[in-house]
Structure formats: structure tokens, C-alpha cells
Structure 1
Amino acid sequence: LSANHNILQIVDVCNDLEKEDKLIRLLEEIMSEKENKTIIFVETKRRCDELTRRMRRDGWPAMGIHGDKSQQERDWVLNEFRFGKAPILIATDVASRGL
């Protein structure tokens, strides 16, 4: 196995109050190029659902995936992400093992 050199990984350590503003700034930069895709990892299923709802409400093409979703729904979300229909994927740490 070898790493994909087309992937940029950004790790930004910040306090809770800064997270959403930093996330929006990063997404604005990343998503300015239409072919870009982004995966955002969160710690809990609840946070995954909350962030997905908030981002969709604000107009971001985001979908969430975590262990409480059915296999059919997880497959559908991954296909939407894979083919660029939802270029922002929000996933729990548990879901990250299968991505």
C-alpha cells in the first residue's frame, strides 16, 4: 500500500469556541475548487448528526455517516460522496475505520 499523494490532511488543534469558525474558513478555501472533497471526523454520532444538520441548513453539501445508520444508508451516503453529489462527508471515528 502507498499513500495517495493527492490527499491533503489538515490537523488544526483549537479550543471548542474556535472550531466552527475555523471549519467554515477551511471549507470555504477547500470547496472553492469544485472537484475537491472533504471528510470531517467527529467524536460522536450525536455530533455527526448535529454538524451535518447545521451545515446543510447553511447550504453546504454535506452528508453524515456513523454506526447507527443502516448499511443501506451508509452505502448510499458513501456513493453520494464518491461521485461528488455530496462532497463533504462528516463521519465518526468508528466510521473512519471502514473508509
Structure 2
Amino acid sequence: MYIVSLNYTAPLEKIDNLLEEHVQFLHAKYEAGIFIASGRKVPRTGGVIMARGCDLETLRAHLAEDPFHREQAATYEITEFSPTMTAAGFEALKD
């Protein structure tokens, strides 16, 4: 499993202009079974994506399709981890 931390490198005006296309990108990756959760950081300096179902290089290829990446509006930090404990109801996240 991966946690992807996005950090905006562009003004929020540019982010907002790309947001609809970014949401379409997210929907496609959810449908493909790659992304399992995502959302904005608070304060709004970027976002977080939880991903699974692929190797690191494949994940990087998926992220390269993000309009935020294409327009150099965000940077991406990827952390891989193996969940071994979860709260009740989240057992499906375990490796």
C-alpha cells in the first residue's frame, strides 16, 4: 500500500482551474482499483491519496497522468507501507 502526499507548487487559482480534470483522473483510478482514499490537506496545501494494487513504478506511471503533474502544479512524495493492524471495519486494508 502507498500513501501519496501531494504538495501544491502553483497558486490555488491554477489548482482550481485544473481541479475538474484532476477529479476525473481520480475517478478513473478508483474505477481501476488503484486508489482507495483521497482528500485535501488542511490547510489546503495539497492532498493525500492512498493507493494499492500495483507496484511502485506502475503507481508512478499512474500519477504522471494527473493534470497536477502534467502542469507542474504539485510534487508527489510516495511512502510505501504494509498495514499489519487496523481498527474494526478496516481489516481489508491489511496485507
- Using structure 1 for the length normalisation, give the TM-score: 0.30
Q: Which has the higher helix share?
A: 1
Work out which structure has the larger RCO, using CA pairs closer than 8 Å and 6 or more positions apart in sequence: 2
